[in-house]
């Protein structure tokens, strides 16, 4: 019996991994997809035509970047829908609007009219049938120092040049955002409690927690019967 069956997790489950930049979402996505034998849905960073430019000039590129991310996430959402689920997703669409677009608007690096255009497009897309909420959102949390250390260690040049205040602001926003998030069940994991790199077997503990939350979720149980 594999881990997914052992902990009663369905093969059409959609689990999204949320958390601030560098906290370990991609690493977790890969580890869980392997352990549960589910597909992955990643946000592509290397082929993003706006990301580098955006980090050099937020005000000039923030709208373009948000529209690009929205289009990419919509395509991924459609792909997951067409497969009938069975995915681990690296970052939720809820973070684009709830964290990034909002932060740039409130900090003055996205204009009001651009923000309104973006949010109306977002609302129209997210209310479509391609957007059922995921079965579970796993929120990865770490201290600010741990996260900054990981951003440094990963070494993406555009992120190294970004002032530390940007990551601090994002961290604070994430804490508020997750405390108010209610679109689907949430499992919070502290990154100091596991180490997927040095201790591969720690993934089973996480799968067990996922099974517990999913099997207590009404929506999940209802669609099972
Ligand atoms: N469990 C972990 N223990 C130690 N380092 C980790 C762990 N998960 C991720 N990392 C490291 O932290 C950095 C950021 O991880 P990544 O998965 O790319 O984050 P994200 O997708 O959230 O931006 C990478 O250098 C990665 O190797
Ligand atoms: N919606 C977004 N707006 C601005 N920047 C974003 C958005 N989504 C992702 N990003 C950035 C943050 C990182 O530099 C890369 C990849 O994110 P990561 O958390 O490392 O997977 O894209």
Query: ipTM, 2 decimals?
Result: 0.95
Cα end-to-end span (Å), the chain: 22
Q: Where are the alpha helices (DSSP H) in 57-201?
A: 58-83, 93-95, 102-106, 112-126, 144-154, 157-160, 164-179
Instruction: Please give the pLDDT value at position 201.
Output: 83
Active site residue 90: yes
Q: Give the angle subtended at the CA of 166 by the CAs of 196 and 181, to the nearest 5°.
A: 65
Query: Which H or E element spans position 210?
Result: helix 202-214
Instruction: Please give the pLDDT value at position 98.
Output: 96
Spatial distance between the Cα atoms of 215 and 209, rounded to a whole number of angstroms: 10
Smallest Cα–Cα separation from 209: which of 181, 186, 180?
Answer: 186
Report the separation in Å between the CA atom of 186 and the middle of ligand 1, taken as the mean of its atom positions: 20
| Tokens linked to 150 | 């990981």
Catalytic residue among 34, 57, 90, 145: 90
Pocket of ligand 2, beta carbon within 6 A: 21-22, 25-26, 43, 45, 51, 65-66, 69, 91, 96, 100, 159
Neighbours of 49 (CB within 10 A): 9
Q: What is the pTM of this model?
A: 0.95
How much is the average pLDDT of 158-176? 97
**Residue having the nearest C-alpha atom to atom 23 of ligand 1:** 22
Q: Is 104 in the pocket of ligand 1 (CB under 6 A)?
A: no
How much is the average pLDDT of 42-61? 96
SS3 3: helix
Instruction: Please give the pLDDT value at position 129.
Output: 76
Smallest Cα–Cα separation from 94: which of 38, 142, 137?
Answer: 137
**Predicted confidence (pLDDT) per residue in 170-188, tens digit:** 999 999 999 999 999 999 9
Band of residue 131 on the pLDDT scale cut at 50, 70, 90: confident
Report the separation in Å between the CA atom of 191 and the middle of ligand 1, taken as the mean of its atom positions: 10
Residue 64 pLDDT greater than 80, yes or no: yes
């Amino acid at each position: 019996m594999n881990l997914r069956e052992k902990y009663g997790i369905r093969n059409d489950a959609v689990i999204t991994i949320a958390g601030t930049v560098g906290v370990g979402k991609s690493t977790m996505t890969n580890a869980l997809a392997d352990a549960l034998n589910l597909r992955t849905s990643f946000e592509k960073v290397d082929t993003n035509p706006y990301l580098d430019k955006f980090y050099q000039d937020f005000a000039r590129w923030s709208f373009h970047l948000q529209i690009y991310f929205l289009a990419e996430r919509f395509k991924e959402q459609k792909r997951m829908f067409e497969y009938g689920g069975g995915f681990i997703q690296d970052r939720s669409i809820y973070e684009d609007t709830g964290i990034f677009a909002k932060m740039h608007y409130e900090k003055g690096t996205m204009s009001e009219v651009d923000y309104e255009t973006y949010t109306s497009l977002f609302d129209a897309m997210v209310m479509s049938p391609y957007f059922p909420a995921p079965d579970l959102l796993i929120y990865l949390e770490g201290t600010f120092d741990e996260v900054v250390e990981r951003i440094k260690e990963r070494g993406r040049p555009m992120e190294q040049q970004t002032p530390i205040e940007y990551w601090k602001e994002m961290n604070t926003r994430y804490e508020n955002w997750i405390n108010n998030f209610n679109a689907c069940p949430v499992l919070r994991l502290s990154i100091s409690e596991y180490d997927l790199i040095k201790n591969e077997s720690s993934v089973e503990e996480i799968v067990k927690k996922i099974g517990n939350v999913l099997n207590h979720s009404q929506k999940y149980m209802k669609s099972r019967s």
